[in-house]
Amino acid sequence: MTTPGRRPGDSGTRAAILAAAKEAFAASGYAATSVRAVARAAAVDPSLVLHFFGSKDGLFEAALELPMDPAVLVQGLLATPRDGLGETLVRTFLGVWDATPGQGPMLAMLRGAVSHEDSADKLRELLLRVILRPVAVGAGAGDPDRRAALLASQLLGLAVVRYVLRVEPLASAPVEELAPLLGPTLQRYLTGPVP
């Protein structure tokens, strides 16, 4: 490569778009950030943003730098037998947290979401719209928004108690011990009656 600067396909272009996206999502939140605005900030055509990231969702997920791909995670959950979804969700959620030493990026997202409105938007979009709502839709019991919000309430509370407040015995309990404790709650929120 002899020509310096950005060109379609350059990893430099992808990095520039990603940097612009991180800044835009952080400054304006998910809802108010458009592919067009990110493209403008990165000085590229919007079609290039879609070329690299597929969609605004893909861009958003890349900007989060998660330790896993949420789409793969959701796919895995949807492949689980319906009556085992609750426990599997506990295992998957804690698996992602426990996989990161010190829970760095996850803890940062949670702390940020509780402190700042912008980061709240980020966590809400990722956990609710990208992960839990599709799982609730897949579970097929109806009312996915309410079910996703209920699931989030138990999962986020578990993260707060285990990783932030470090309340024993939940802080030190292995996942194998927590799955049967919390699984029935998530199972009811997914497939039980929600009056």
Stretch that binds a second copy, among 8-16, 49-57, 92-100, 142-150 (CB under 8 A): 142-150
Specify the 3-state DSSP secondary structure of 31: coil
Question: Smaller CB distance to a second copy: residue 4 or 169?
Answer: 169
Does residue 149 belong to the site contacting a second copy (CB under 8 A)?
yes
Question: Smaller CB distance to a second copy: residue 42 or 86?
Answer: 86
**Rounded least distance, CB 77 to a second copy, Å:** 19
Does residue 89 belong to the site contacting a second copy (CB under 8 A)?
no
Tokens of 183: 């699984």
Does residue 158 belong to the site contacting a second copy (CB under 8 A)?
yes
Question: Smaller CB distance to a second copy: residue 16 or 161?
Answer: 161
Question: Smaller CB distance to a second copy: residue 7 or 111?
Answer: 111
> What contacts 53, CB < 8 A, 6 or more positions away?
17, 21, 59, 62
Pair 12, 6: CB distance under 8 Å: yes
Does residue 106 belong to the site contacting a second copy (CB under 8 A)?
no
> What contacts 40, CB < 8 A, 6 or more positions away?
none
Does residue 141 belong to the site contacting a second copy (CB under 8 A)?
no
Pair 166, 81: CB distance under 8 Å: no
**Rounded least distance, CB 125 to a second copy, Å:** 10
